[in-house]
Structure 1
Amino acid sequence: MLLKISNLAKRYDTGTDHVSVLRDVSFEMAKSETLALEGESGSGKSTLLHLVAGLDGVSSGSIVVASAEITQFSDRQSAELRRKTVGLIFQQFNLIPSLTVQSNIAFHARVAEQYDAEWAEYLAEKIGLRDHLAKYPEALSGGQQQRVAIARSLAARPKLLLADEPTGNLDETTADAVLGLMLESAAETGTALLMVTHSPRLAARMQRRLTLSQGAVTEGSTAS
């Protein structure tokens, strides 16, 4: 298993009470597997991705990524996890304003010592950015910036890609193309893809579906 989550819980102390966001969440993902995480707003989907990425601490339970138990990682170890193993596509693009599109795409891969110019060029072509490589983020639309963020994460060939509504700022045609590229990349590189989405249409293209409700997950139908 590339990812194994066991009895995971996350609670927040509000000062007068404890708010339970996740409770007793358990599931596994294999190498190159694709999984859609669905659920209502506020159900804890983004929180779950943050915990798997080592961006927040768990209240109890276990998260194993690529054979490493990450729940007791130091900040340095968590940063190394995100540099070498886990790719992130969140709703905030977090592009570097002073770098061109081409340099933004290459940035994470270079830091991770995984940069492959041909792969980065292929991604830019497939995701519709070839004519924008010399531009800076401020010259791009929100949808174009999201595509840069997606290409940047794929360029580093992560073992696990966490995507929080990665097509939320894209039109339906572009969303389909971008998800197709992510699925193609997962199959080609062995990357596992865990994607939060509100779109049943996109979720149906994933191999598995989980629904998060009231802090717990249930398995959904398998994509055909």
Structure 2
Amino acid sequence: MVLEVENLAKSYGQGAARTEVLRDVSFRLAAGETLALTGESGSGKSTVLHLVAGLDRASGGRIEVDGIEIGALADRGTAELRRRSIAVIFQQFNLIPSLTVEANIAFHARLAGVFEPARAAQLAERIGLAQHLRKYPEALSGGQQQRVAIARSLAARPKLLLADEPTGNLDEDTADLVLKLMLDCAAETETAVLMVTHSTRQAARMSRRLLLSHGMVKEAV
């Protein structure tokens, strides 16, 4: 099991000012599985993703990634787990503007100490970027930039890919293509995918769906 989330809770503030964002959220994700987190704005979807990524701390419950409990790690350990086992794709592409496409793809793999030139080249070819490797992000369309972000995330062979509205800034046709490329490339290495999305169209492409409402699991499909 790549990801196990049990009784996850998150709140802010204390006393009368305390706000519960998540309550008793539980799910599992195995290698090669894909799961869509859906729900209305404010339901807690992105909070779940940030907690799983170790970008925020849970108020209760347990998160285990690749056999390691995140809550038991100090900040340094959490950062190391992210480098080794987790990749994150955001709606904003977050590419490094001063680096070429080729260097952006290699960036996370180099940080993790697992850069493989052949792997990076294969991803670039697979995702339709082979002719753009010497370009800088500003010369690319939104869809192309998101492809670079996907290739960068998968170049380090993560166990878990987290995607927060990864196609939210793209038109429908481009979004469909980018999502297909992401899922196909992840499937080749049996990378588990957890994706936050408002789109029922995109959620239907995933093998499972989890609907959140007011910070709780309302429905699991």
TM range, smaller chain: over 0.9
Q: Distance in 2 between matches of 1:3 and 1:31?
A: 9
- Provide the rounded CA distance (Å) in 2 between the counterparts of 1:70 and 1:58: 9
Q: Cα offset for 1:120?
A: 1.8
Partner of 1:55: 55
Correspondence 1:83 to 2:87: no
> Residue 62 of structure 1 contacts residue 71 of structure 1 at CA under 8 Å; is this kept in 2?
yes
Which residue in 2 is equivalent to 1:163? 163
**Amino-acid identity (%):** 69
Residue 200 of structure 1 deviates from its aligned partner by 1.2
CA distance in 2, matches of 1:175, 1:122: 22
* Alignment root-mean-square deviation, CA: 1.7
Aligned to 1:106, the other structure's residue is in SS state helix
**Which amino acid in the other structure matches residue 28 of structure 1?**
R
Alignment of 1:1-224 (within 5 A): 1-13=1-13, 17-221=17-221
How far 1:67 moved relative to its partner? 1.0
Cα deviation, residue 168, structure 1: 1.3
Deviation of 1:219 after TM superposition, in Å, equals: 3.7
Secondary structure of 2:57's counterpart equals coil
Q: Distance in 1 between matches of 2:63 and 2:147?
A: 29
Q: Is the 8 A contact 1:88 1:161 kept in 2?
A: yes
CA distance in 1, matches of 2:129, 2:188: 21
TM superposition shift of 1:15? 8.3
Q: Is the 8 A contact 2:146 2:178 kept in 1?
A: no
**TM-score of the pair, normalised by structure 2:** 0.93
Asked whether the 8 Å contact 1:150–1:166 carries over to 2, the reply is: no
**Deviation, structure 1 residue 131:** 2.8
Distance across 2 between alignment mates of 1:17 and 1:153: 38
Give the secondary-structure state (helix, strand or coil) at the position aligned to 2:97: coil
| Mean Cα deviation higher: 144-153 or 154-163 | 144-153
Report the Cα offset of residue 14 of structure 1. 7.3
TM-score, normalised to structure 1, is 0.92
The one-letter code sitting in structure 2 at the alignment partner of 1:82 is R
Cα separation, 2, equivalents of 1:104 and 1:76: 23
State how far apart, in whole Å, the 1-side matches of 2:187 and 2:148 are.
21
Is the contact between residue 33 and residue 186 of structure 1 (CA under 8 Å) also seen in structure 2?
A: no
The change in CA–CA distance for 1:18 and 1:128 in structure 2 (over 3 A counts) is same
Amino acid at match of 2:164: D
Deviations, residues 60-106 of structure 1 (Å, cap 9, x unaligned): 11001111111131110111011000100012322222211110011
Unaligned runs of 5+ in 1: none
CA displacement at 1:197 relative to structure 2: 1.1
